């Protein structure tokens, strides 16, 4: 009985971690946006989980960016060429 209760407590603990975002999803940046190549992709894993995608056409031109929430929906303020929704993954690249 003691083993069963220990196992039940461990399962409950791990389930709670999954629900609070330990295995949270993040947006996957498209490799190309508006004729520009993806230069950098990172997810704010310690705060809101938003993913930022930076695109460059050449090093002499300014970059453009898109930001997505944890379900892959576009956030306001990015480039108008950004897609409105992207796929998600649990393999996120953290921002440093």
Longest C-alpha distance within the chain, in Å?
68
- For residue range 12-22, what is the model confidence (pLDDT) as tens digits? 444 333 334 44
Does 63 fall in a domain? yes
Kindly calculate the radius of gyration of the chain based on its CA atoms and give it in whole angstroms: 18
Domain count, the chain: 1
User: Could you tell me which residue, 23 or 78, shows the higher pLDDT?
Assistant: 78
Structure tokens at 62: 């300014």
Does 15 fall in a domain? no
Q: Is the pLDDT of residue 5 over 50?
A: no
Does 55 fall in a domain? yes
Q: How confident is the model at residue 75 (pLDDT cuts 50, 70, 90)?
A: very high
Does 2 fall in a domain? no
Backbone angles phi, psi at 11, to 5 degrees: -65, -45
For β-strands 32-33 and 36-43, DSSP reports them as antiparallel
**What domain range is 53 assigned to?**
22-89
Contact 56, 37 (CB under 8 A): yes
pLDDT for 38: 94
Does 27 fall in a domain? yes
- For residue range 41-53, what is the model confidence (pLDDT) as tens digits? 999 877 788 999 9
């Amino acid at each position: 009985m003691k083993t069963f209760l220990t196992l039940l407590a461990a399962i409950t603990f791990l389930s709670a971690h999954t629900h609070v975002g330990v295995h949270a999803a993040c947006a996957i940046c498209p490799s190309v946006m508006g004729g520009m190549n993806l230069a950098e992709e990172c997810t704010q894993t310690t705060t809101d989980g938003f993913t930022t995608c930076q695109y460059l056409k050449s090093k002499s031109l300014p970059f453009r960016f898109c930001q997505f929430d944890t379900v892959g929906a576009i956030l306001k303020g990015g480039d108008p060429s950004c897609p409105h929704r992207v796929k998600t993954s649990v393999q996120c690249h953290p921002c440093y």
